Chain A
Amino acid sequence: KQEVTQIPAALSVPEGENLVLNCSFTDSAIYNLQWFRQDPGKGLTSLLLIQSSQREQTSGRLNASLDKSSGRSTLYIAASQPGDSATYLCAVRKGGSEKLVFGKGTKLTVNP
């Protein structure tokens, strides 16, 4: 059974800092991995989708990497801003399955 773990559960940093969020998964036979952002009381917003054949994806100040063989992904946020404060979730999908398995998220607070 696929399990997705995100460490740390919460992170507080000063504005301007570069930071890394971690995601690990137990079954390396994934089709793709997605990073989402969730603001309090809101739905999820997709940030980046990495296919299993890819090593990384970039969007603005965000960079996500994938090491499928070791079961790890990282989300790098450059020059963090207070507006980046949210919970970040990663989710993996197995090939041939519609099911996304989510981690429990990392709650990020960026302090002005």
Chain B
Amino acid sequence: NAGVTQTPKFQVLKTGQSMTLQCAQDMNHNSMYWYRQDPGMGLRLIYYSASEGTTDKGEVPDGYNVSRLKKQNFLLGLESAAPSQTSVYFCASSPGPSTTQYFGPGTRLTVL
């Protein structure tokens, strides 16, 4: 049981480049989340998905897009990366709303 996995672990982008962060969970959880963690700011919710095929904005969605085509996968896209998107990105999943969230190991993204 791998839990929540994220790829890649590290990524360096140039301003304006695009990329997709991948998240997978093998716990058959309904809900999935994307957070970013910045020094002095704590963790902030970017997007979440309550079920396959549905997504909703969190606290800081600007500059990101997401897709949840399969129950076990939640993808976070950056269409045109900016230095302000340099951060550590965490994916999480939970059995349903308002239950314990299980986090992946994170992706450290640097935008130059």
Q: Which 10 pairs between the two chains have the least Cβ-Cβ distance?
A: A43-B103, A44-B103, A102-B43, A102-B42, A104-B42, A43-B105, A46-B100, A98-B48, A49-B100, A99-B45
Decide: A43 and B90 in contact? CB cutoff 8 A.
yes
Decide: B98 and A93 in contact? CB cutoff 8 A.
yes
A positions within 8 Å CB-CB of B: 4, 31-32, 34, 36, 41-46, 49, 89, 91, 93, 95, 98-100, 102-105
Q: Which residues of B contact A31 (CB under 8 A)?
A: 98
**Distance A90 CA – B92 CA, assembled complex (angstroms):** 16
Q: Scan residues 28-63 of chain B and give those whose CB is less than 8 A from a CB of chain A.
A: 31, 33, 40-45, 48, 50, 56, 58-59
Q: With A31-B98, A98-B33, A102-B42 as given contacts, are A43 and B104 in contact (CB-CB < 8 Å)?
A: yes
B positions within 8 Å CB-CB of A: 4, 31, 33, 40-45, 48, 50, 56, 58-59, 90, 92, 97-106
Decide: A32 and B58 in contact? CB cutoff 8 A.
no
Cβ 8 A contact of B45, one of A34, A95, A100: A100
**Distance A31 CA – B42 CA, assembled complex (angstroms):** 20
**Distance A104 CA – B37 CA, assembled complex (angstroms):** 10
**Distance A102 CA – B33 CA, assembled complex (angstroms):** 14
Q: What's the minimum C-beta distance from B76 to chain A, rounded to whole angstroms?
A: 15
Chain A contact residues, majority secondary structure: strand
A–B pairs, 12, beta carbons within 8 Å: A31-B98, A43-B106, A44-B92, A45-B103, A49-B99, A91-B43, A98-B50, A98-B56, A98-B58, A99-B59, A100-B45, A102-B44
Q: Which residues of B contact A95 (CB under 8 A)?
A: 98
**Distance A36 CA – B90 CA, assembled complex (angstroms):** 14
- Most chain A beta carbons < 10 A, residue from B4, B43, B56, B92: B43
**Distance A44 CA – B92 CA, assembled complex (angstroms):** 9
- Most chain A beta carbons < 10 A, residue from B31, B44, B98, B104: B98
Decide: A99 and B98 in contact? CB cutoff 8 A.
no
Q: Which residues of B contact A46 (CB under 8 A)?
A: 100-103
Q: Which residues of B contact A102 (CB under 8 A)?
A: 42-44
